[in-house]
Amino acid sequence: MTAVGAIPVLMGKTPSRAIRDMSLGFAAGVMLSASFFSLIIPSLDAATVQYGDGALPAALAVAGILLGMAAVAVLNETLPHEHFNTGREGPDAGSLRRVWLFIIAITIHNFPEGLTVGVGFGAHGLSGGMPLAIGIGLQNAPEGLAVAVALLGEGYSRRRAFGIAALTGLIEPIGGLLGAAIISVSEPFLPWGLAFAAGAMLYVISHEIIPETHRSGHQNKATLGFSIGLVLMLFLDVWLG
């Protein structure tokens, strides 16, 4: 789906910034809805089954969410990378080519999404993983488009921009395999894994996607996309899950 989203750059059609911001807002809505309805609530349910009612399930979910957010924050601070508008972050990366800084930034962004889908499948099989897989797949399309268009703006050819955008999606199956493996091996990890994946996605939403959609004055369109993504993911989760 990341590659599918990048196809328009091969056709010479570059959507406007407003459309791209609305698409990224849609992606943020899908991720936020998935974080709560497909991850945090099942995490609380699983913890309640294991530890009974009371404060412990809620405390476990809180700890898992904070750990997930902290893990992505550490990656964000320790790996050199570059955002399309805000520039370089992390350690000094003067020896790295610009394209690799972009790729590292997108890897940091995409890994939690793959982890989330893997945790969903590992925890509840098709009923838990399919809504997440469809939702994350849908929101990968605008991300692929955003990456490809940004690379075009940096002077890359259309084919190269498409190729790099498509390749950034490959980290998600790796994250998915890791998430599914961890949850499948040990059931006590289930509530932790679900909450951890939710925290990782929440960090990406707050730190990366929403600020990106509000930089160019298209907040209303971005919010519209956000709303559609949120309710669509909620519908998919209830219908398929």
Is 177 inside a domain boundary? yes
- What is the rounded CA–CA span in Å between residue 98 and residue 195? 34
Is 11 inside a domain boundary? no
> What is the amino acid identity at position 158?
R
Could you read off the pLDDT tens digit of each residue along the chain, which spans 241 residues? 889 988 988 887 677 888 888 888 888 898 898 889 888 998 899 899 888 988 999 999 999 999 999 988 887 777 655 554 455 555 555 444 555 565 666 666 677 778 888 888 887 788 778 888 888 888 788 878 877 877 777 677 888 889 888 888 888 888 888 888 877 777 777 888 889 888 988 988 888 788 888 888 889 999 999 999 899 888 888 887 6
- What is the rounded CA–CA span in Å between residue 1 and residue 240? 20
Is 233 inside a domain boundary? yes
Segments forming the whole domain that contains residue 216: 2-6+17-240
| CA dihedral of 75, 109, 39, 126, whole degrees rounded to 10 | -120
Number of domains comprising the chain: 1
- What is the rounded CA–CA span in Å between residue 164 and residue 23? 19
Is 12 inside a domain boundary? no
- What is the rounded CA–CA span in Å between residue 177 and residue 181? 6
The position carrying tokens 């750059």 is: 9
